[in-house]
Structure 1
Amino acid sequence: MMRIAFDLDGTLIHSAPGIRSAINAVLEELGAEALSLAQVTGFIGNGTLKLVERSLRASGLAAEGAALEAAHERLGAVYGADPTRETTLFPGVRGALDSLKAQGHSLTICTNKPAGPARDILKHFAIDGYFDLVVGGDSLPTRKPEPEMLHKALCGGDTVAYVGDSDVDAETARRAEVRFGLFTEGYRHASVDALAPDFRFSDFAALPALVAG
């Protein structure tokens, strides 16, 4: 059977509203105005440090050195206190995971979100038991789109695939030279055709049949 790695934010979970609330709490402390949901969603994908850097720049604040480090640490505290707030599973996720496990596939997580909050979220939604491994943005020295995280998440699988939603995920799969399945309802910026997925879906109910095929 196949070993399948999943991205988390924008793929299994709709987390942008909660991330926005956390980053806006940090910006408020720094005297800046709140960012819109569209802005914050556009900043998601390259890890929390890059999220903070982009948010600071968008707010006209210092976005490097000690200022960046302090804001990043503060976001970790604010978001880490409740990483599940304003976060939901995308429809059909649980049923798809059930079907994939029933087919005998091995499932893992490969996300630029830090591993601790990622595990907390999986546990909160009672889907942690589906996954054999969680590789987070702080698990290795490099982050997506560098391929090392995905290589680790897929290690041990003779047949492998990566399921994600974004430009970063598509680039990661390309660099890792693995099949890429695109969830089209996530946080991507480029067109579906530009990302050139091996397969695509807008409804998780369709995923088990795509994998089986």
Structure 2
Amino acid sequence: MSQPLTIPARRGKAHRVAKGETVRVINTHGEQVIDTWAFNAEDLTEFMSMEHSRAHMLKIIPVVGDILRTNRRRPILTLVEDTSGGIHDTIIAACDRHRYAFLGVEGHHDNCEDNLHAAMREIGLEAPETPSPLNLFMNIPVHPDRSVSFEAPVSTPGSFVRLKAEMDLVIAFSACPQDILPINGVGHLPTEAHFVVEP
């Protein structure tokens, strides 16, 4: 069995994954949101797209068996197992420096956009843009009046999702550094998480 790799708290991590391999993303301490991206390893301009995936899934939260698609509508990842309670988000953009300025932060604040690009550079690649991520474990309920809100995750320590690669790809994660809204749990600071690439 492969050794777990760490997604450091408030930071990102990227890794190459071969077609047919699975990636188990572990919410080590529970309630940590993990922004997740996937890029075609042969052409980084093709990447997992939430807009295109929703059009094929006909839902806003993927469930086991659902296929996530690229901006060219090709399968890139399939959700094959989920022990986390099944609450994830495909609507909200990755946090960035502009978001934290809007929330009143002066100066630098760690953010998922920067984490994506730093993680890709760490393995010698350059992400061509910041696609809208699959926000694993993030709880953004849609209310009867069609409004949304930012709520604490329902995931528990050690719960996980397993994603199967449908092409050779590069997967990238950010342990979301949001510490102003309760995205990572009420009163919780961002924590590290882990992932395992398995045959």
**TM-score, structure 1 as length reference:** 0.26
Which has the greater radius of gyration?
Answer: 1
Relative contact order, higher structure (CA 8 A, sep 6+):
2
**TM-score, structure 2 as length reference:** 0.28
